[in-house]
Amino acid sequence: MGRIDPYMGMLARSIFNSFAWLAIATLIGASPAMASRFANQFVEFEVPPQWQCALEGAEWVCQSQNEGKKREAIIVLAAKLKGDQDSLDQYLAFLKGAKAFTSVQGKPVKSDPKFAKTVSINGHPWVDALHLESEIPGFYTRYLATVKQDIGVLVTYSINKAKYSEYQSEFDNLIRTLKVFRKGGGINAAPAAGNLFQQAQIPTQISNDSIFPGVAPQGGSDVPAQAAKSEPNENLFYLGLAGAVVLVLILRRRNSGG
């Protein structure tokens, strides 16, 4: 076959380069979002990407803003004025034992403690524990509890047991960046009397629309609507890119006299 018009070769290369740069831009834009730092009156840490924290009653609640992930995990932060039951030893003893409670369906539930230990996080001692089904049926809950000056502090995150491995690295990063302090002035804390773990209002169910103890999840799909709508466009883009690559290879082969 004869040699192809040089203009057509330049046009093909231009098309290929355009698709290549578009692919690079798309990949950069699709890279994971950076974590952001959250801080209130007694703790700070890096929340996972696309998460947001808000004050719900006496507790701070953090949850993904992705509609398809809201029911998979939740973070709850609580504080109380320090009382007779607030010490690391007492926190450790409490978290070593199983927690028994009645589910919203009226069924008795007993948690399965996985571990409970004292650790140092950024130079401060914490009690670190993991239970299965201690707060929400079918969920793991990680507890981090400590005392700071005149307050007891509790950080919990609960993850659907089927999704635990997916969230583990994000929550390990939360722990690495966790810092506790005591800012002056008023603080959103429970009274000194009582148990830190029993006073903290941790939801027994997770809803997509809002977070309230005892409220069952309302419908919804596990696949975000936005992501589902974007898939056809992404498929067309990659098909177009593949077509451009094939076109360039054909033109180069013809140009070489093959």
What percentage of residues in the chain have a pLDDT greater than 90? 51
**Domain membership flag for residue 125:** yes
107 and 84, same domain (yes or no): yes
13 and 50, same domain (yes or no): no
10 and 42, same domain (yes or no): no
**Domain membership flag for residue 61:** yes
84 and 186, same domain (yes or no): yes
Taking the C-alpha atoms of 114, 124, 167 and 55 in order, what is their torsion angle to the nearest 10 degrees? 110
150 and 22, same domain (yes or no): no
pLDDT in tens, 146-200: 999 999 999 999 999 999 999 999 999 999 999 999 987 777 888 899 899 988 8
- Kindly indicate the confidence band of residue 203, based on its pLDDT and cuts at 50, 70 and 90: confident
CA-nearest of 233, 255, 26 to 247 is 255
> What is the count of structural domains for the chain?
2
25 and 43, same domain (yes or no): no
Note whether 125 and 119 are within 8 A (CB).
Answer: yes
**Domain membership flag for residue 50:** yes
Using the predicted structure, report yes or no on whether residue 63 has a pLDDT greater than 50.
yes
Note whether 61 and 54 are within 8 A (CB).
Answer: yes
185 and 129, same domain (yes or no): yes
Alpha helices in the chain (DSSP H): 6-29, 88-96, 164-176, 196-199, 225-255
14 and 93, same domain (yes or no): no
Q: How far apart are CA 144 and CA 128, in angstroms?
A: 5
Domain interval for residue 16: 6-31+224-255
- From 161, 183, 199, the end of a domain falls on 199
54 and 80, same domain (yes or no): yes
194 and 86, same domain (yes or no): yes
**Residue-level pLDDT at 14:** 55
